[in-house]
A and B are shown apart, each in its own frame.
Chain A
Amino acid sequence: MPVREATYDTVPGAYEIIRPELAFRRIIKVSLAGTVYHLVYTGEPGNLEVLYTASTGGFRFINSFGYYLINNPNAPVDTYIKDKIHIIWDE
């Protein structure tokens, strides 16, 4: 059972990431910014759902990706951290 995991950066404002290396895989878990999403394979993703398109390796959400602010007193400017997606899949 070659199960793998990886974390991917997102682009704020986008709704989807495309990972061709994850095409036609058995996806086990998807979490976005610390929240686990329910996997759906057809239709449109609803709240707390992620639509996985096997042919492209696409993961689409209903809400756009965001970022959060870290107010670091030691840094000259505030630091923005983009939302990250963590995926576990079976090769």
Chain B
Amino acid sequence: MSEVLGSGVAVQAKVDGDYITIGCAVSCAWSYVNEIIGKTDVNAGSYRKKRVRISDVRGNVAGVIITENEPTRLSIFHFLQEAIRRSEVDMRFLFEDTLGTVRSIQGMFLVSGIDLTADVSAFGEFDLNLEGTGSVSTEAIDPPGEVVCDEMKSDWWVLAEGETTISGAGENGEFFAGHTLLEVARTGYAGMEIIGSGTPGNAQALYTGSTTIAFDPANPGLPDEKIFVIWLESDAS
């Protein structure tokens, strides 16, 4: 999961084939409103049914006034030009998350209002209000992935006398290989510490995710010694 920070949001207008950011913007907003109206069907006498009629889109950008257009920054005065302020403008809102994934909402907008304000002790500021005309488009977004359900399993093995490892199928035919171990219990000791590397010491079990669980070389298996293992298997594995 990655979040979109306010600094990752930009509003751009298309000029001569290129989208250019409106700047220096400090805040922006985009809204979509559906007009909900009544609907009639066979059950409408018992419960009010509704549907969407017409949708409206609005946008707003506010920021610090700059006087000149730059290759990557568009001045608010661009939108005050007669040909711009009275025409549809192709614009898009960009949302970039902290991992760099970008989503965009693109559509045609009309300038519904421009406010320019200035205080003697601060930057001059603009407020550009936009009214959508026509539809908006955005990229398709993948549906949520399937929930992976883990299944907990267990089995037991005989640790042969003098041996320090177990592998293969357990006494009930189960395999822990490649799965996530939760519990390794050796006769007389439950809850051994599961380590992923190094040499196992006393009360430790070495499991690297492969086919073997290894135990302390200084404590090989005793007669009739058993190992009990609990592990998680996921649907994906």
Interface residues of A (CB under 8 A from B): 1-5, 7, 29, 31-32, 34-36, 70, 81, 84-86, 88
Nearest B-chain residue to A34, judged by Cβ: B189
A5-B181, A81-B201 known, 8 other contacts, Cβ within 8 Å: A4-B182, A34-B189, A34-B191, A35-B190, A81-B202, A81-B203, A86-B191, A86-B193
In the assembled complex, the Cα of A2 lies from the Cα of B150 at a distance in Å of 7
User: Binary interface profile of B, 173-203, with partner A (CB < 8 Å = 1, else 0)?
Assistant: 0000000011100001111111000000111
Tell me the smallest distance from the CB of B31 to a CB of chain A, in Å: 37
Could you list some 24 contacts between A and B, CB below 8 A? A1-B150, A1-B152, A1-B232, A2-B150, A3-B150, A4-B182, A5-B182, A5-B183, A5-B194, A7-B194, A29-B191, A32-B191, A34-B188, A34-B189, A34-B191, A34-B192, A36-B190, A36-B191, A81-B203, A84-B191, A85-B191, A86-B191, A88-B182, A88-B230
In the assembled complex, the Cα of A2 lies from the Cα of B152 at a distance in Å of 10
Nearest A-chain residue to B186, judged by Cβ: A34
Q: Are A34 and B190 also in contact (CB < 8 A) when A5-B181, A81-B202, A88-B182 are?
A: yes
User: Binary interface profile of B, 113-155, with partner A (CB < 8 Å = 1, else 0)?
Assistant: 0000000000000000000000000000000000001101000
Give chain B residues whose Cβ lies under 8 Å from the Cβ of A88: 182-183, 230
Secondary structure at the A interface, as helix, strand, loop or mixed, is strand
In the complex, are the beta carbons of B183 and A29 less than 8 A apart? yes
In the assembled complex, the Cα of A34 lies from the Cα of B203 at a distance in Å of 8
Give chain A residues whose Cβ lies under 8 Å from the Cβ of B191: 7, 29, 31-32, 34, 36, 84-86
Q: Are A7 and B193 also in contact (CB < 8 A) when A1-B149, A2-B150 are?
A: yes
Give chain B residues whose Cβ lies under 8 Å from the Cβ of A7: 191, 193-194
In the assembled complex, the Cα of A36 lies from the Cα of B189 at a distance in Å of 9
Most buried by B among A2, A29, A81, A86: A86
Give chain A residues whose Cβ lies under 8 Å from the Cβ of B150: 1-3
Tell me the smallest distance from the CB of B217 to a CB of chain A, in Å: 13
In the assembled complex, the Cα of A2 lies from the Cα of B149 at a distance in Å of 9
In the complex, are the beta carbons of B190 and A3 less than 8 A apart? no
In the complex, are the beta carbons of B193 and A84 less than 8 A apart? yes
Tell me the smallest distance from the CB of B9 to a CB of chain A, in Å: 32
Nearest A-chain residue to B149, judged by Cβ: A1
Give chain A residues whose Cβ lies under 8 Å from the Cβ of B182: 3-5, 88
Most buried by A among B181, B202, B203: B203
Give chain B residues whose Cβ lies under 8 Å from the Cβ of A3: 150, 152, 182, 232
In the assembled complex, the Cα of A32 lies from the Cα of B192 at a distance in Å of 10
Most buried by B among A4, A32, A34, A36: A34
Closest 5 CB pairs of A and B: A86-B191, A31-B191, A34-B189, A7-B193, A31-B190
In the assembled complex, the Cα of A31 lies from the Cα of B230 at a distance in Å of 14
Give chain A residues whose Cβ lies under 8 Å from the Cβ of B230: 88
